[in-house]
Structure 1
Amino acid sequence: MHLAMHMTQRQLKPRDGALDLLKWLALLSMVLDHLRYVGYSVDLLYVPGRLAFPWFCLAMAANLARAPTVNTQGQWRYLGWLLLFSAVSEVPYRMYIPDPDTLNVLPTLALGLLVARGWQTRGLQARLLAVVALLLAVVFWSRLMFGFFGVLLPLALLLVIRRPWYFALLPGLVCLAANQWQVLYYAARLGNPAALPAIVTCLIAPWLGLFLLRHAKGVKPPPMRRWAYALYPVHFLVLLLVRQFAV
């Protein structure tokens, strides 16, 4: 009976169109960012590409904020899909990105989920997993895309998701730190045209995402369901094919 009631509640729960829109825009930003490696000089695409990771983290935080803290089944499935496609995506990621010095982005998101879930849930198991995730983020800082601060970003967004807009400065700073602010600052001093806009984009990306979630409730984009995990490795293969014809 409890299971039937739970299924009925899930069926009656309205789809969040703003959240689906955020996911689609994050995916578009990611593709734009990766177009830099197709073979043409399009370094300015680095700027809109800075929206992708914080918006995926915000989508994760929004899902955590909507889910009951006592119901962990969905979050375990979420973690399982992230870990599965972390492994599946690593080969196409390394085939497409020239000389990658980090893993693909999904391990960072998986660790970030554990950290955010550990803060949200009082259970001992969740707290221990969060501590382990933080330790892994410290030990493998240089191997994780967006590093230790990237692991913290989902939690930072979860902390401010229901707060006034100006609290978005906190995850904005975390986002900037995750994007190697020292490198961006140095590039800006050298006059790189993409560096300063990228810094600004990192700082405002969480606020833009939160604004979208709060004010785009009436939109109804195609729902992004579990099949969307496959878009991550597939887009690398598609862009690899494009590069073969473009070169």
Structure 2
Amino acid sequence: MHSAHTLPVGPIRDGALDLLKWLALFSMVLDHLRYVGLSLDGLYVPGRLAFPWFCLAIAANLHRVRNAPVTGQWRYLGWLLLFSVISEVPYRLFIEDADTLNVLPTLALGLLVARGWQQKTFIDRGLALIAVTIAAVFSAHLMFGLLGVLLPLAMLLVFRRPWYFSVLPGLVCVAANQWQILLNSGTPVALLGLVACLIAPWAGLVLLRHAHSTSPPAMRRWAYALYPTHFLLLLLLRHIIA
């Protein structure tokens, strides 16, 4: 039986986890709406929830299947890598001045790191070490950098700790979001963005604990296609507005 102070994720399909994924996707779309040509800078704040909630979804999936066969997790990694490639062109078309890859390579490397900590086998630990090395060497080219790659692991650690330990991934999330630039700018949007980064892991974990009765549409493999598709749809919207 789980402690009342922990935040478990059930072994069967979890409506709360699907809700978390949908909310992460919605937050990401809100964030990217800032680039369609309208004055929507305030959307930066809810947009800070997207990446930590995607990382939390990775951690939740690993936690749920920790004693299951590994084939499903290799498929998980394979889909992330495939859509990392597919999404790069739509991402570059929409974010014209992008100086990093799209977010999926960061999530794929983060999955390897978190799984290496969880499974402790030679191959999993080896892949985790390779992933950390790649992230360290190419940090400037990865969205959210090395700390972004470590965020799924920080999220996974929270599953075995009381809820208030969510400050750990919260601080990692803040550090991954160029906190010095945001702090120095001192604008309300920047400061609220820092707050959103800090509380996002806690908010996501509370949702996973208390929203089990929800039943949103299940996010299955087709959902990977939503990432490149949303760039193309927002690009079309930008041309319509222009």
Same fold per superposition (TM over 0.5) = yes
Partner of 1:228: 223
Matched AA of 2:157: L
After superposition, residues 20-35 of structure 1 pair within 5 angstroms as 20-35=18-33
1:107 corresponds to 2:105: yes
Name the residue aligned to 2:85: 87
Q: CA deviation at 1:70?
A: 5.5
Task: Look up the match of 2:7.
Answer: none
Q: Supply the distance in 1 between the matched residues of 2:182 and 2:120 (Cα, whole angstroms).
A: 38
Structure 2 counterpart of 1:47:
45
Aligned to 1:194: 189
> 1:206: which partner in 2?
201
Counterpart in the other structure of 2:180: 182
Contact 1:118/1:130, CA 8 A, preserved across alignment: yes
1:9 match:
none
CA RMSD of aligned residues (A): 0.9
For structure 2, the residue ranges without an aligned partner over 5 or more in a row are: 1-10
Which of 148, 157, 160 is the aligned partner of 1:159?
157
Indicate how the Cα distance of structure 1 residues 70 and 24 shifts in structure 2: closer, same or farther if over 3 A, else same: closer
CA shift at 1:41, angstroms?
1.2
Q: Find the counterpart in structure 2 of residue 96 from structure 1.
A: 94
Give secondary structure in 2 for the equivalent of 1:85: helix
Contact 2:66 2:118 in 1 (8 A): no
TM-score (norm 2): 0.94
Q: Which whole-Å CA distance do the structure 1 matches of 2:226 and 2:51 have between them? A: 15
Indicate the structure (1 or 2) with the bigger Cα radius of gyration.
Answer: 1
Q: What does residue range 48-63 of structure 1 map to in structure 2 within 5 Å?
A: 48-63=46-61
Q: Matches of 1:68 and 1:57 in 2, distance apart?
A: 16
Gaps of 5+ in 1: 1-12
**Aligned partners of 1:138 and 1:159: how far apart in 2?**
21
Write the letter of the residue equivalent to 1:53: F
Instruction: Spell out, residue by residue over 1:146-183, the C-alpha distance to the aligned partner (whole angstroms, 9 max, x if none).
Output: 00000000000000023211100000000001101111
Partner residue of 1:218 out of 193, 213, 219:
213
Identity over the aligned pairs, expressed in percent?
70
Aligned twin of 1:5? none
Distance 1:220 1:35 in 2: 27
Structure 1 runs of 4+ aligned residues shifted over 4 Å read none
Query: Does the C-alpha gap of structure 1 residues 14 and 69 become closer, same or farther in structure 2, counting only changes over 3 Å?
Result: closer
Amino acid at match of 1:92: P
Alpha-carbon separation, structure 1, partners of 2:97 and 2:81 = 23
Contact 1:69 1:121 in 2 (8 A): no
Cα distance in 2, alignment partners of residues 68 and 102 from structure 1: 32
The CA deviation string for residues 106-164 of structure 1, in whole angstroms up to 9 with x for no partner, is: 00000000000000112101101000000000100100000000000000000002321
The alignment's TM-score, normalised by the length of structure 1, stands at 0.92
Q: Give, in whole Å, the separation in 2 of the partners of 1:68 and 1:195.
A: 37
State the one-letter code of the partner of 2:136: V
Equivalent position SS for 1:194: helix
| Structure 1 position 76, deviation (Å) | 0.4
Q: Distance in 2 between matches of 1:83 and 1:38?
A: 27
Q: 1:8 maps to what in 2?
A: none
